[in-house]
Amino acid sequence: MPRVTYHLPDGGSRTVEAAPGESVMMAAVGNAVPGILGACGGGLASAACHVFVPEPWRALAGAPQSMEDHMRDMTVTERGPGGRLCRQIAMTEAPEGPQVQIAAEQA
């Protein structure tokens, strides 16, 4: 089964299995990964699942759509390269990846 690695704000990391098509957010919430709140349940109604996708993994994660880009304006963490809302990143069948850095603050 494909895996996603979450790099935590405290320097640790968690790798969990996720089904193809499952969002990176739902995989985090379902595996109690700290730092991903998933407050809206995947409905794109909050920005409480802000992550940064490192360069090697951005092609796998895909580009943000306009609504996601608008919601990122509401995050408390400054926008930066690779910033995404992980509810919008769907797992592929690639066994390794993506890797994401969880933003230090969520809201």
Q: What is the CATH number of the domain that holds 92?
A: 3.10.20.30
| Position 107 in a domain | no
DSSP state of 94: -
Helix ranges (DSSP H) in 11-105: 24-30, 55-61, 66-72
Distance CA 55, CA 25 (A): 19
- Residue 57 domain-assigned (yes or no): yes
In-domain check, residue 93: yes
Does some domain include residue 8? yes
Q: How many domains does the chain have?
A: 1
Structural domain containing residue 73? 3-102
Chain segment 25-57, per-residue pLDDT in tens: 999 999 999 988 776 665 665 677 889 999 988
Residues 10-25: tens digit of each pLDDT: 999 999 999 999 999 9
